[in-house]
Structure 1
Amino acid sequence: MDIMKKGWFSEIHEELLPGQAFSMRVKKVLHEEKSQYQDIKIIETTDYGRALILDGIIQCTLRDEFSYQEMISFLPLCAHPNPEKVLIVGGGDGGVAREVTKHPAVKEVHQVEIDDRVVELSKKYLPEMACGFDHPKLHLTIGDGFEYMKNHENEFDVIITDSSDPIGPAVGLFEESYYSLMKAALKPGGIVCSQGNSYWCELDFCKSLLENCRKHFPATAYSFITTPSYTCGNIGFAIGCLDPDRELSEPLHVFTKAEIDEMKLRYYTSEIHRASFVLPRFVEKTLYES
């Protein structure tokens, strides 16, 4: 549920985030509609710029979207020795596509997004992210990610799942069956990276998600980043690799500061890559020792 009241947008979801909310002051509501799959809202805020909201939950804001988009992309890409062919599931705002296509080893990016209206509206209202759809490396398919992967086995080096929260059309992207599908769609040594929610809000869910990943991937890890527009100010990623000896926290591609700046990265560095896997003790105990 979201509330628009006296010039403020408030994200309130008692199922996912009980007893708390996040609010932004609104300058203007740019667009509202109910698509075939979800409620879509795009607003202009005073301090976070434009924001995309799906089913009442903030997906991204122009102020801090780069932290999420860069890390969900470059963590798995830099942990793979040669990520030539990449699949993005979801990511209808285009931000992940924008980042994945920057990596010099990537030759081909396929993206499958279920809701064409998110893509169309992002192109209109969020061109800073939707520019990812215009890159020549990218091939976009509007459709269901499950069905897509069933027809594309042993094809990809990296699969990135940029999903909304585990409600509505995205709920299946957090289940064990989805990890089984991704495993089949990967080449040997392939890597998956999925949005993994916040350990401050949903630590038990993070644990369950990582357990689903472990059932199909011999090397797994959880990392996190800071993102002020997400409730509790952080979000994590569940990462799995088919190579049991891969150390996911150690980047295999190390870029200089000049290369980072040339790729227009503002959050990701090799140092941030390593640091994102260093967890508070209570999280480490829950995810790895219990």
Structure 2
Amino acid sequence: MDILLLIWIVELVIERTVTLVNLQSATYGKVLVLDGVIQLTERDECAYQEMITHLPLCSIQNPKKVLVIGGGDGGVIREVSRHASVEQIDMCEIDAMVVDVSKKYFPDVAVGFQDPRVNLHIGDGVAFLKAVPHGTYDAVIVDSSDPIGPAKELFEKPFFELIAKALRPGGVVCTQAESLWLHMHLIQDIVSNCREIFKGSVNYAWTTVPTYPSGMIGFMLCSTEGPAVDFKNPVTRVEGEGSHPQVKGPLRFYNAEIHSAAFCLPSFVNKAIGSKLR
């Protein structure tokens, strides 16, 4: 079975401790690998990029200001830019090299960098948030790598406190929240911290991504105190093949039905975190 049949190496870049490898797979197309971990493939990147973006943005009315932490490949801002109501997209990515490689080898993913609403900041996401005035954003999306090294900070309580401060009342955050098969203790800690910090909704969703560890990835979705947010029932309903007057399509993966289904949790996950969600 061809899980990842690597045909040729396009480029190997080594800078500091970061290794970026751009590969070609017979099944998944071009593959971006960062420090030995698959970040995206042409075939299945939509399952991650569309879900981490449209789950939060379709849950609130007319988001205008959006902050993306991480996401140097550009996939998240590509999806944010589909929303007609959005006026400002700030992005803070710690590594310019990821941005450059994506622009060069994954132009269909990095196309969002061309949007005039995008303001790219190269630097540390925590430091960026510390300087953000209270209540600036309607939504914050955290597309982080695994909690190793500098990214570990993005899974800890002080980081979520900074996000809550940066959001308007009823604002939403969606953050990459690991695998329910592999990282349940970490997910339990994240849920506990978010329940304490965010006084609105606190929910966990997931999607399938074949090339990620365990074949899936989870998302933590929370809202600040203010107008109620029902994450399970999108207010902007993208139907059929991914079209809506407020969301430029077509989308390859996300729709209103899969939005609601993403919050259906396996029994063992409900047992572990269900009582803490709201």
- Superposed pair shares fold, TM > 0.5: yes
Counterpart position of 1:277: 263
The Cα shift of 1:36 comes to 3.6
1:108 to 64, 88, 112: 88
Counterpart position of 2:233: 250
Q: Secondary structure at the match of 2:274?
A: helix
TM-score by length of 2: 0.92
The Cα shift of 1:156 comes to 0.5
Counterpart-to-counterpart distance in 1, 2:211 and 2:139:
27
Please say if residues 242 and 252 of structure 2, whose CA atoms lie closer than 8 Å, have aligned partners that are also in contact: no
Counterpart position of 2:211: 229
Counterpart position of 1:241: 223
Distance 1:259 1:29, change over 3 A: closer
Q: Deviations over 1:101-147 (max 9, x none)?
A: 00122121110101000000111111110111111221111111111
Please say if residues 146 and 152 of structure 2, whose CA atoms lie closer than 8 Å, have aligned partners that are also in contact: yes
Counterpart position of 2:41: 61
The Cα shift of 1:258 comes to 6.4
The Cα shift of 1:266 comes to 1.1
Please say if residues 37 and 169 of structure 1, whose CA atoms lie closer than 8 Å, have aligned partners that are also in contact: no
Counterpart-to-counterpart distance in 2, 1:225 and 1:258:
18
Please say if residues 242 and 254 of structure 2, whose CA atoms lie closer than 8 Å, have aligned partners that are also in contact: no
Q: Deviations over 1:165-195 (max 9, x none)?
A: 1112311111111101111111111101000
Q: Deviations over 1:41-95 (max 9, x none)?
A: 2111121111111121111111100010000000000111221100000000000
Cα RMSD, aligned residues only? 1.7
1:89 to 55, 69, 86: 69
1:192 to 159, 173, 182: 173
Aligned residue pairs, count: 269
Q: What residue ranges of structure 2 are gaps of 5+ in the alignment?
A: none
TM-score by length of 1: 0.88
Deviates more, 1:258-267 or 1:29-38: 258-267
Please say if residues 38 and 54 of structure 1, whose CA atoms lie closer than 8 Å, have aligned partners that are also in contact: yes
Q: Which amino acid aligns with 1:103?
A: H
Deviates more, 1:216-225 or 1:242-251: 242-251
Distance 1:258 1:139, change over 3 A: same
Counterpart-to-counterpart distance in 2, 1:146 and 1:201:
26
Identity of aligned residues (%): 41
Q: Secondary structure at the match of 1:82?
A: coil
